[in-house]
Amino acid sequence: MEILEKLGHIYSGALTEVIATVTGIHLQVESMDSENELGDIIGAMCLVGKKNGILFVSAKKDDIRILCSRFIGIPVEEVLEKDIDDTICELVNMTAGSAKLRLGDTDYMFSLTQPFSIKGNDISIVTKAITHVIAGTLTDGKISVKFKAVYS
């Protein structure tokens, strides 16, 4: 299996597992496309190792609000802005942790760093010297969550 395909399986599997575990929502891979656009709110984490990179997890704010409601057990209408930020950061943190376990002793093993969120309109994230982009969209037909890992 080619390394990009393997990394795609690792990251999509990690994110699918995390969301199912914390929310009970079972998403499936809709597409694997390195050109996918990230959502309204983005959780990010720098991946520091032999190969450095950044992992992004994103979705529309309303989809994160639903995931947050299921994650912390409150009605959707009670989810606050800070809860949305915490949820997207926790999703990227847990996804990175799960992916790290799956990467084993490869050149793509990394140390976990502090997750952060990015919000706004018409966001453009540019990274230099990209060698690999692994990206995909997960959905259950109602909720969509995207991920993108870029390595240099």
* Beta bridge partner(s), residue 145: 59, 138
> Which of 141, 139, 108 is closest to 27 using CA atoms?
139
* Rounded Cα gap, residues 138 and 144, in angstroms: 6
| Average pLDDT along the chain | 91
pLDDT in tens, 14-52: 999 999 999 999 999 998 877 777 888 999 999 999 989
> Residue 61 is inside which H or E element, if any?
helix 61-72
Q: Name the residue range of residue 26's domain.
A: 3-151
Would you state the pLDDT for residue 1? Answer: 56
Contact 111, 25 (CB under 8 A): no
pLDDT in tens, 53-66: 999 999 999 999 99
Would you state the pLDDT for residue 130? Answer: 74
User: What is the CATH number for 78?
Assistant: 3.40.1550.10
Split into its structural domains, the chain has a count of 1
